[in-house]
Amino acid sequence: MLDSLKILSVELFAETDVSERGYIHGGTPGYAVLPINNNEVNIQTNYYNELTTEINIPAILIAEKDANGTIWQSKLAVCKKAVRSGLNVSYSETFQKIQNKAGLMKQVPVTVFINGQLRSILPLEKDETANTHNGIAVLPHCFMSQEIYLQ
């Protein structure tokens, strides 16, 4: 299909308020990945709220990676309830994997701009954590629920 469309390159533009040094992550999640079938897994997450703010809504950014470290897709999984400071919450998310049925196009150059600045695409690194969790890696994130509730 790319040949028929005559696509020569792809440019990705992203705007974010995440600083170069990181973002509010809220805590360290523990997680287990349980296979449901060939392309579907259930991610069970236990999240401890390390922040001192009153109430937070925990979330994880799920990344599906192959054995070489290529990210095939990502998804934000938000817990349906808030958690107070110093407490923990458990929740699960069903995730549909695509790497067994998708194709990887390498011949089309990709250029990435983040907040208007050209960024280099870093070389792939194997992710041993993802490799031991059925190809799934997670990053913690949280939302300040007081702000969401007030809006």
- Does residue 144 register a pLDDT over 50? yes
Percent of the chain with pLDDT over 70: 84
- Does residue 24 register a pLDDT over 80? no
pLDDT in tens, 58-78: 888 999 999 999 999 999 998
9's torsion region: left (phi>0), alpha (psi -120 to 50) or beta? Answer: beta
More confident residue, 140 or 91: 91
More confident residue, 47 or 149: 47
3-state class (DSSP) for residue 145? helix
Tell whether 39 is covered by a domain: yes
- Does residue 101 register a pLDDT over 70? yes
Domain count, the chain: 1
Tell whether 33 is covered by a domain: yes
- Does residue 81 register a pLDDT over 90? no
Tell whether 12 is covered by a domain: no
* CATH number, domain containing residue 95: 2.60.40
Q: What pLDDT does residue 26 have?
A: 67
Q: Which residues are CB-contacts of 103 (< 8 A; sequence separation ≥ 6)?
A: none
- Does residue 151 register a pLDDT over 90? no
Q: What pLDDT does residue 21 have?
A: 47
pLDDT in tens, 25-57: 667 788 999 999 989 999 999 988 877 766 678
Q: What pLDDT does residue 83 have?
A: 84
pTM, whole model, 2 decimals?
Answer: 0.79
* Residue 47 belongs to domain spanning: 21-150
User: From start to end of 4-131, where are the E strands?
Assistant: 10-14, 29-37, 40-48, 55-65, 71-78, 83-84, 88-96, 110-114, 117-119
Tell whether 83 is covered by a domain: yes
Q: What pLDDT does residue 50 have?
A: 78
